[in-house]
A and B are shown apart, each in its own frame.
Chain A
Amino acid sequence: DAGVIQSPRHEVTEMGQEVTLRCKPISGHDYLFWYRQTMMRGLELLIYFNNNVPIDDSGMPEDRFSAKMPNASFSTLKIQPSEPRDSAVYFCASRVGEGVRTFGSGTRLTVV
């Protein structure tokens, strides 16, 4: 199994541009989580899905952020328009069992 696959690994974009981060979870995992990690705020849960349905998006910082999961093997996190304060490492994770997550390697986003 290739694990949770995220793309791109690194993204540099200009302020105001749209950014799309992608995630392919492990086949058969029923939950998918999006996290953001920064030095200032640590690891924050943004949103999670169960069987492709968004369950809790209370961590999404503002309307500029949106996430979708059109099928069991793909999810996107979109930021439009992007701002410098969105610079962070974004992780996707899928659930193996209760509390057990498999994380992707993350996307390091830099907004200049």
Chain B
Amino acid sequence: GNSVTQMEGPVTLSEEAFLTINCTYTATGYPSLFWYVQYPGEGLQLLLKATKADDKGSNKGFEATYRKETTSFHLEKGSVQVSDSAVYFCALLPMDTGRRALTFGSGTRLQVQP
């Protein structure tokens, strides 16, 4: 079956530090990959996506590259801010079935300290 594995949190960083949140996946075929972010008290929001191997998704300074050879989609940001404190979810959408449901990882909480 399909699954997404994320690094355990919380990840605690100082402002302007470099961020990496690891995500690996298991899926048949070539899924599309996503990062969603959840701020306190809110629903999830799409942060970025990539639909094929070697694609790079980017938004708000965050980036992730679809690596088929390592089945990974790690999230990175060069300089985090306090406002980036949130829970980040990696997700996949299988493209070889009719199922239109995302498979989410367990989420990684990021805490950025001033």
Say whether A and B bind each other. Answer: yes
Q: Which of B32, B42, B43 sits near A98, CB closer than 8 Å?
A: B32
Q: Tell yes or no: A70 within 8 A of B by CB.
A: no
Report B23 CB to chain A, min CB distance, Å: 14
Q: Which of A4, A42, A98, A103 sits near B107, CB closer than 8 Å?
A: A42
Across the interface, which residues of A come within 8 angstroms of B102, CB to CB? 45, 99, 101
Q: Tell yes or no: A95 within 8 A of B by CB.
A: yes
Docked complex Cα distance between A105 and B41 (Å): 7
The A/B interface has a contact count, at CB < 8 Å, of 51
Given known contacts A91-B43, A101-B46, A45 and B101 CB-to-CB distance under 8 angstroms: yes
Across the interface, which residues of A come within 8 angstroms of B91, CB to CB? 99
Considering the complex, which residues of chain B in the window 21-42 have a beta carbon less than 8 Å from any beta carbon of chain A?
Answer: 32, 34, 36, 41-42
Q: Mark A10-49, 1 if CB is under 8 A from B, else 0.
A: 0000000000000000000001010000000011010010
Across the interface, which residues of A come within 8 angstroms of B43, CB to CB? 4, 91, 93, 103-106
Interface residues of B (CB under 8 A from A): 32, 34, 36, 41-46, 49, 51, 89, 91, 93, 95, 99-102, 104, 106-107
